[in-house]
Amino acid sequence: MLILTRRSDEAIRIGEEIVIRIIEIKGNQVRIGIEAPAEMRIYREELFQRIAEENIRSSTTDPLVFEQLKEVFKKR
């Protein structure tokens, strides 16, 4: 992990397309601005974790559900 010190109005550049700018420091909170291509998804860490957990949960299905679906779609 790279650790940098920045002051208000200073920035960090990641590659050629991403700029992270320190907007304001107030107490123990830091407001940052992120300039990145529109197609790049940017998430807060806690939201990203929830999305990942939900994706895992939705990909694991109870085998009973498949058995019930087989019954529904059985050819007559």
Q: What are the residue boundaries of the structural domains of the chain, listed by start?
A: 11-72
State how far the Cα of 68 lies from the Cα of 27, in Å rounded to an integer. Answer: 56
Question: Using the 8-state DSSP alphabet, how is residue 73 labeled?
Answer: T
Average pLDDT over all residues of the chain? 91
pLDDT of residue 19: 98
Instruction: Tell me if the pTM is above 0.75.
Output: no
Number of neighbours of residue 12 by Cβ within 10 angstroms: 13
Compute the average pLDDT of residues 53-74.
82
pLDDT of residue 39: 96
pLDDT of residue 63: 77
Residue 45 has pLDDT above 70, yes or no: yes
Compute the average pLDDT of residues 42-55.
94
DSSP state letters, 10-50? -EEEETTTEEEEEEEEETTEEEEEEE--TTS----HHHHHH
